[in-house]
Amino acid sequence: MIRIDTVTKRYPDGTVAVDRLSLEIPDRSITVLVGPSGCGKTTTLRMINRMVEPSEGSILLDGVDIREQPVNSLRRSMGYVIQNAGLFQHRTIVDNIATVPRLLGWGRQKSRARAVELMERVGLDSALAKRYPYQLSGGQQQRVGVARALAADPPVLLMDEPFSAVDPVVRKGLQDELLRLQEELGKTIVFVTHDIDEAIKLGTTVAVLRAGGRLAQYAPPAELLTAPADAFVEDFLGTDRGIRRLSFFGTAGLELKTSPIVAVDATAEEAAARPGGDVHYLLVTDRDGRPLGWSEPAALTAGAVDAGRLLPHGRPFEYGVESLRAALDCAVLSPTGWAVAVDGTGRAVGVVSQQTIGEAIRTAHAEGRRTEAGADARTGDDAGSAAGTDAKVAG
């Protein structure tokens, strides 16, 4: 574990970049430092690998003050990734990635083999190995930066706005890739960003910093969204935090209705036997149970289904896998106001109304509040998991 203990950094010109910061950074998780430009994120990260020395306070790695460790071995235990990757422009991709193994005296052959292995790990075609950085896209260069930082298999990864310079689509891909890599590798990652959405997506725990390098809040993302510590954090989170928070609630408990589902080859009598009630539409599926569209009951009982006349069912959500946010989105976009739930193979398992989703949201919020009331806010207990989700689910 990395422990930052009451650390202050005052630069020679008097600028206080970090002000009495204390953080416990747990092993094998992603801790995100987020805040506006100039709030001391980079300074904090660089104090962890001693590129910057604190003016006051101390930083402990597994209980030992980092000042008591040789700086070379400290840095070797911490991969470092920066914006624009910071690659050596005159070296090929494979040689860039092999930089640290070569410094460690691994030998050319072994270093290159490791580099090629890592290219695959981070989703790069090994055909790019002999290219130079300028021959790669921004997203590919960033992947090389991550591969290079991982080359000597350090337990810690320090990442300073690594994805800030690439376009939103590439950025999403890099974020997903990092989460996948982290599942495989289990590094202790300290990730700096000024983008709160990125912080919420990637962070196990998020430290929000404000101008002057002061800590505003340190909490798991779901807790930040539920209970921002003050007006600054609330403002920083943006206006739709209620909707975003729904990403942390699962759909496994949603009550689905199956009676409105009819197969396209159902007889008119079967269709007529479907209950009315609050369901004014039937979901027509193909013979395998995959949704085709919505129909008014009367249109079905009149005879054969005209697939061309069905109302579109929109994007369904995967039941129990996707979040309440996804389910709500499906219902809001559905022409009938009902969302279609499917299993992993795309077969319809039920339909659910906006109203039922609304009830589930209220229940989840109430459970979340109850749990928070009984929990110590600083223990790092994930309010999201306590509120009935096993893991963060993609919105």
Ligand X SMILES: Nc1ncnc2c1ncn2[C@@H]1O[C@H](COP(=O)(O)OP(=O)(O)O)[C@@H](O)[C@H]1O
Q: What is the dihedral of CA 40, 45, 46, 49, to 10 degrees?
A: 160
The CB-of-257 to ligand X minimum distance in angstroms stands at 50
Regarding 43 and contact with ligand X (CB under 6 A), the answer is: yes
The CB-of-196 to ligand X minimum distance in angstroms stands at 14
Using CB under 6 A, which of 2, 17, 224, 341 touches ligand X? 17
The CB-of-46 to ligand X minimum distance in angstroms stands at 8
Choices 36-44, 91-99, 225-233, 368-376; region in contact with ligand X by CB under 6 A: 36-44
Regarding 38 and contact with ligand X (CB under 6 A), the answer is: yes
Cα distance between residue 205 and residue 220, in whole Å: 4
Q: Which of residues 41-70 bind Mg ion (CB under 5 A)?
A: 42
Cα distance between residue 187 and residue 78, in whole Å: 10
Cα distance between residue 325 and residue 373, in whole Å: 24
- DSSP states of 259-284: TTEEETT--HHHHHTS--TT---EEE
Regarding 41 and contact with ligand X (CB under 6 A), the answer is: yes
Is the Cβ–Cβ distance between 257 and 349 less than 8 Å? no
Q: Per-residue string for binding with ligand X, 344-363, x by CB under 6 A?
A: --------------------
* Of 19 and 318, CB closest to ligand X: 19
Choices 34-42, 57-65, 238-246, 361-369; region in contact with ligand X by CB under 6 A: 34-42
Q: Which of residues 15-44 bind Mg ion (CB under 5 A)?
A: 42
Is the Cβ–Cβ distance between 202 and 30 less than 8 Å? yes
* Of 19 and 223, CB closest to ligand X: 19
Q: Which of 214, 236, 216 is nearest to 225 (CA)?
A: 236
The CB-of-21 to ligand X minimum distance in angstroms stands at 11
Contacts of 168 (CB under 8 A, 6+ apart): none
The CB-of-42 to Mg ion minimum distance in angstroms stands at 3
- What are the residue ranges of helices labelled H in 286-353? 297-301, 324-333
Helix axes of 108-121 and 138-150: crossing angle, nearest 10 degrees: 130
17 binds, among ligand X, Mg ion, none (CB under 5 to 8 A by kind): ligand X
The CB-of-122 to Mg ion minimum distance in angstroms stands at 23
* Of 9 and 313, CB closest to ligand X: 9
Is the Cβ–Cβ distance between 260 and 352 less than 8 Å? no
Q: What residue has token string 């430290």?
A: 207
Regarding 51 and contact with ligand X (CB under 6 A), the answer is: no
Regarding 73 and contact with ligand X (CB under 6 A), the answer is: no
187 binds, among ligand X, Mg ion, none (CB under 5 to 8 A by kind): none
Q: Where are the beta strands (DSSP E) in the chain?
A: 2-10, 16-25, 30-34, 56-61, 64-65, 78-82, 156-160, 188-193, 205-210, 214-219, 261-263, 282-285, 291-295, 317-318, 338-342, 348-353
Regarding 42 and contact with ligand X (CB under 6 A), the answer is: yes
Regarding 39 and contact with ligand X (CB under 6 A), the answer is: yes
Regarding 164 and contact with ligand X (CB under 6 A), the answer is: no
Residue 159 sits at the vertex; the CA angle it makes with 109 and 116, to the nearest 5 degrees, is 20
Regarding 15 and contact with ligand X (CB under 6 A), the answer is: yes
| β-strands 56-61, 16-25 pairing | unpaired
* Of 42 and 336, CB closest to Mg ion: 42
37 binds, among ligand X, Mg ion, none (CB under 5 to 8 A by kind): ligand X
CA 314 vs CA 40, 284, 311, 317: distances in Å = 45, 13, 9, 10
Residues at the interface with Mg ion (CB under 5 A) = 42
Residues at the interface with ligand X (CB under 6 A) = 11, 13, 15, 17, 37-43
